[in-house]
Amino acid sequence: MGITRAISLVLVLLTATAAASAGNSKFSELKGNPNLRSASAIVLDASGNIIYGKDVNTVRPIASITKLMTAMVVLDAGLDLEEKITITKEDRDLIRLTGSRLQYGATLPRHELILLALMSSENRAATALGRNYPGGMDNFIAHMNKKARALGMSNSRFADPAGLRVENVSTASDLARMLNAAEAYPLITQSTTTTRREVRPYSRRGPLTYGNTNRLLKNKNWDIELSKTGYINEAGRCLVMQANIEGEDISIVLLNSFGKLTPFGDSNRLRKWMLANS
């Protein structure tokens, strides 16, 4: 065998070994069961391999997880993020009758409305983003569903930007696709992991302080890179996250948990189970 050919063979073997190593997760062959209380769940490694799955293709309401799609559609349009948008009566919640500290006349730049919609799940912020989309709300919702199809989310439908309607539905498997796509948007990762933020929507009043709806961001055991919570009665408690666990990027989707703290408890059970088996 010639020297050149031998070197080439070594390089091929090294490349193949590296590729195989990169594709292997320390969490690929876990034993036992994390005993999650969420009705649907999926956990994926960075290569998209399923570490854990439970009822991954059941279509369920997804509540405010919808807001991740809202943010992506707004950002895909390349709209001016500094443009000021004013909250109006059109942005009030007539479905769930939820309240808001963003009263009529509150004005914020588009990027801060994205932040509040994602970080604090502000419904009026999300609705105002859809209302101010070129072509109006109907066109915005059409683009939400177009984006879902482009991502291969074949079992998902979107009906409003805030996730208030029960017709916003998806599966754990589809939401893993959406979560993976959302990671490519720096404003989304930044907004969903911001724990606290002051905004000034009123010219003659003091600032409003908002906090993140994901309490795990304050837990030192977690290294969270992207997250979103959701809740309406029909959807139960929902949580999607991308987190780094023991040096590996992991995607977590939890749907229809009963109890306000159950998604966070399930997340901790998952992490404990994964670490105990690694």
Catalytic (active-site) positions: 64, 67, 121
Q: Is 29 exposed, middle or buried (0-12, 13-18, 19+ CB in 10 A)?
A: exposed
**Amino acid occupying residue 13:** L
> Which residue reads 């909250």 in tokens?
87
Dihedrals phi, psi of 104, to nearest 5 degrees: -55, 130
* Nearest CA among 126, 132, 13, 23 for reference residue 68: 126
- Contacts of 232-235 with C-beta under 8 Å, sequence gap 24+, read 232/61, 232/63, 232/64, 232/96, 232/163, 232/164, 232/166, 234/61, 234/166, 235/60, 235/61, 235/62, 235/63, 235/166
> Which residue reads 């590996």 in tokens?
248
136-150 helix and 66-76 helix, angle to the nearest 10 degrees: 100
Task: Assign residue 136 a region (left: φ > 0; alpha: ψ between -120 and 50; beta: otherwise).
Answer: left
